[in-house]
Homo-oligomer: A and B are copies of this chain.
Amino acid sequence: MEESNEKKIILVAVDESEESMYALSWCLHNLLSSTAAQPTNTKLVLLYVKPPPPVYSSLDATGYLFGCDVIATMEKYTKDIATSVMSKAERIYKDFHTNNIQVDKIVGSGEAKDVICVAADKLRADILVMGSHDYGFFKRALLGSVSEHCAKHVKCPVVVIKRPKTTAQI
């Protein structure tokens, strides 16, 4: 089923939501503990996807709405979010015994569902772990479900994790 000599790659898609942090935590408890005896056999890859940079100023007729300084501010803002998400994730996995596990962090840019699928395939991930946002019908209809899309298109097993309602309502 899998080569024991090869490093097992667990790709966790993280974002600013509590759901994705819960997914990371779940992954550490349920998927990484299996390799506690042979910790070097697993690589944890955290992937954050920031939205694509705005292209209005050069391509769109409404470009005048966004000056270069505004775009720079927006880019800084998304960069800050990426840093914040990764720091939050780091705090979670540092609490866990991940000293011997290699943790890589990747920040991608674009449509989250597409970037995650491409990353999973390029990295040859063994497992993709994602939090599930419990959107209502309309939000789901508008935004689509990233986890649903990935489960459909990614080759490796996909773990879709919902944060329990009891803790979600804190």
B158-A159 in contact (CB<8A): yes
A132-B148 in contact (CB<8A): no
Copy count, this protein chain: 2
Residues of B contacting A147 in the complex (Cβ-Cβ under 8 angstroms):
151
- Interface presence of A152 (CB below 8 A): yes
- Segment at the B interface, from A25-33, A50-58, A73-81, A82-90: A25-33
Known contacts A155-B162, A158-B160, A162-B157; A33/B30 CB under 8 A? no
Q: Using CB atoms, name the residue of chain B closest to A161.
A: B157
Within the complex, the shortest CB–CB distance from A165 to chain B, in Å, comes to: 7
A149-170: CB near B (< 8 Å → 1, else 0) gives 0011011111111101100000
Within the complex, the shortest CB–CB distance from A96 to chain B, in Å, comes to: 11
Q: Using CB atoms, name the residue of chain B closest to A159.
A: B159
What are the 9 tightest A-B residue pairs by CB atom distance, in nearest-first order? A34-B34, A157-B161, A151-B160, A33-B34, A159-B159, A158-B160, A1-B29, A148-B148, A157-B159
